[in-house]
Amino acid sequence: MTEHADGSVEVHLADTHPGREDPEYLRRRGEIAGAALAWERGSQPVPTITYSEREHEVWCTVSAELAPLHERYAHSEYLAAKERLALPTDHVPQLAEVGERLVPLTGWTYVCAPGLVPLRDFYADLGSRTFNSTQYLRHDSQPLYTPEPDIIHEVIGHANQLASPRFAAITQAAGRASLRLETQEAMKLVADVFWFSIEFGVMREHGEAKAYGAGILSSYGEIQEFGHMEIRELDLADMGTLNYDITAYQPVLFAAESLTHLEDVVGEFFASVDDDAAAALRAEAGRRGLVPG
C-alpha cells in the first residue's frame, strides 16, 4: 500500500490478481484499507464499512457454495462451531458483529487490518484472543477465488473455527508462544506449524480425512481437492520446516487422528515451545534430511 499526500491509499495487487486492471475495484480497495489505517485502536470502534450490493452478492455466493461442501468435508467440531456462531449468509457482516457473536462463545474479538499484519504483531494479538482481519472482498469476476486473504477467509474460515473453545484455545496458545520466542527462526517454525494445522489442518473422523483448517474451509477449490493431496501424520519437525507455496493448493497436508490428538501434539507444542525447543526441532529436521543442510 502507498499512502498519498492527499490522504488517499493505493493498494498494489499482483499482476495475476483478477482486480488488477479494474480501476473501481482498486479505488474501493484503497478506500477500505484507508479506513483501517486511519483507525485508532483502543479509542475508536472498529470502522463500519458500507458494503455495496455487489460486495454482498459475493459474500452470498460464496456462503451458498461453501455450505454443502462444509457438510461433506468439514470436521464435526468445525460444523458445530459454525452452527453456534450462525454468521449471516445474506450480507457481509461487520467485524464488530463477528466479535459480538464470538465473545459469548469463546471470548474472541475481531479488529481491522488494511492488509497483511507483521508476523509478531499478528501472533501477539492471537495471544490475547484478538484476530486481525481484512475487510475487503475478492473481485466479483471470480467470487470463488482469491489470491490473498479477504474477509471471507478471515471470517468464514477463522471465525467459525474460533467459535470452538478447543480450536480457539490452540490458536491462543500459538499467539502466546510468540511472546516467549526471541529468534526469528523459532518464530517462523511456530508460524509454519500453525500453517499446517490451524490454516491447513485435516483430521481423521469415522475413517475419513476431514478439514478443520481455515484455509481449506474458506476455499471453494481447495476444499474439494485436499482429499487428493499427500496426507502425512502429525510431525512437528516436518510441519515446522516444510517449504510451501501460499499461492497454490497445498500438495502436502498433516492429519491428526482426533481433536484430542491435535491438542496433545500441536496444542502442547504451542503451549511449551521456546527458542531451545524450536532449535532442537530444526536440528532434528536437518538430521532427517527434511531441510537443506
List, for residues 151-197, the tens digit of each pLDDT value: 999 999 999 999 999 999 999 999 999 999 999 999 999 999 999 99
HSE (side-chain half, CA atoms, 13 Å) at 243: 4
Average pLDDT on 228-257 reads 94
Angle at 61 between CA 58 and CA 64, to 5 degrees: 145
* Model pLDDT, residue 7: 82
**Cell (9 digits) for 225:** 481437492
Neighbours of 240 (CB within 10 A): 27
Using CA of residue 51, residue 56, residue 57, residue 61, what is the dihedral sign? positive
Element (H, E) at 232: strand 230-233
**pLDDT tens digit sequence for 133-161:** 999 999 999 999 888 899 999 999 999 99
Phi and psi (nearest 5°) for 252? -125, 130
**Euclidean distance between CA atoms 171 and 275, whole angstroms:** 19
pTM higher than 0.85 for the full model? yes
Q: Which residues are annotated as catalytic?
A: 153, 158, 199, 218
- Round the average pLDDT of the chain to a whole number and report it: 95
**pLDDT tens digit sequence for 120-134:** 999 999 999 999 999
Average pLDDT on 265-275 reads 98
Residue 224: strand, helix, or coil: helix
Q: Judge whether residue 293 has pLDDT over 70.
A: no
Using CA of residue 272, residue 116, residue 77, residue 281, what is the dihedral sign? negative
Angle between helix 53-73 and 76-85 (nearest 10): 140
**Cell (9 digits) for 139:** 473481485
**Which of 103-112, 219-228, 261-270 is the least confident region?**
219-228
